[in-house]
Structure 1
């Protein structure tokens, strides 16, 4: 069974998840819409160039289906980035080095390679829009806080310097990951054991 959306497209009745009281949203439709955003960004389209119409066409739904879930394109983009990053990592708490290696390694899997390409396409939006930058910071802050807690625990246990600048250390650990993921900034740096080498290099300056 299909129905005609407000923009004239035929939509499956299952997508009309807000028409009836108590009808749950379709996770399948949500995923199709977010995947369409990923595909468009991964293909090289800028966030500014992407339209709700293009996302709807790629996902095989009508614009009304998207607007029932997200008020505008910016909200959709932020949700897409949040979903791409996946669940928060959980450090084991046995040693600062092991936890940092685990966190850095988690930024370098195949899923995060795609995320890096998508983020690169979002950069113009983040530079131009203070609101988008603020919202994006809200997306990454929970992950930043996981690493922050590991560093603070290291100070408390004596593994790290008592005068450690936690925020600067976060930047030193995250920055290389970001530029390598998005830009392959230095192709001569081998991928193998990248996380271990980065963490050990930083630990040379911050270890107790």
Structure 2
């Protein structure tokens, strides 16, 4: 399972099989990527797709919501560790996909989840639980930049986090601008914003 995400719904003391876990996670992602909604996603359908019994799923997760959190978290994995060499390099590292090849289904899956986040307070909380660890790592980089003098002392850290992440997120999810290159976009966003964030 993905580190850094507290699902709070796993039963203790059961035997684990990485292969079975992966098959179940893959079943969730596959069903969502094919256009299924969170509401219509059922433990029965997930079990059938994964080739396991419902009891196998319930031994690992308390229910659909806990399973959904782990499935979505697996698309990105934990945030990368900042190297501490410079604010610029750390921010680019955080905004980049990294060595893990991006899952091509991410855009389809996230487009299914966005309406659910808007409609359901519970799923909004689940979403916040997924993204907050990444936000906190970026806050730490920015605060370190303020302490080292690389960034202006009066920097609004929360607005800076939003300004850095939003362009990259929108481009990946919606392909908002076909002329922008996904690989170079993080560095371009960071360099553009650092001109105002520094001094």
- TM-score, length-scaled by structure 2: 0.86
Name which of 58, 61, 67 aligns with 1:67.
58
CA contact (8 A) 1:113 1:182 kept: no
CA distance in 2, matches of 1:162, 1:44: 46
Largest Rg, 1 or 2: 1
Residue 81 (1) aligns with residue 91 (2): no
CA distance in 2, matches of 1:57, 1:25: 19
2:82 corresponding residue in structure 1 = 91
**Which structure's relative contact order is higher, taking Cα pairs within 8 Å and 6+ residues apart?**
2
CA distance in 2, matches of 1:23, 1:192: 41
Residue 175 (1) aligns with residue 166 (2): yes
Q: Tell which deviates more after alignment, 117-126 or 102-111.
A: 102-111
CA distance in 2, matches of 1:146, 1:93: 12
CA distance in 1, matches of 2:147, 2:135: 19
CA distance in 2, matches of 1:142, 1:173: 15
Q: Tell me the matched-pair count.
A: 189
Note the aligned Cα RMSD (angstroms).
2.1
Superposed CA offset, 1:7-35 (max 9, x none) = xxxxxxxxxxx9xxx66222211111001
Q: Which runs of 5+ in 2 are unaligned?
A: 1-10
Residue 162 (1) aligns with residue 148 (2): no
Name which of 48, 62, 65 aligns with 1:57.
48
CA contact (8 A) 2:25 2:71 kept: yes
CA distance in 2, matches of 1:200, 1:182: 22
CA contact (8 A) 1:117 1:181 kept: no
Q: CA deviation at 1:175?
A: 0.8
Superposed CA offset, 1:61-101 (max 9, x none) = 11121122222212211121123321331111011001111
Q: CA deviation at 1:151?
A: 0.4
CA distance in 1, matches of 2:33, 2:99: 17
- Structure 1 runs (4+) deviating above 4 angstroms are none
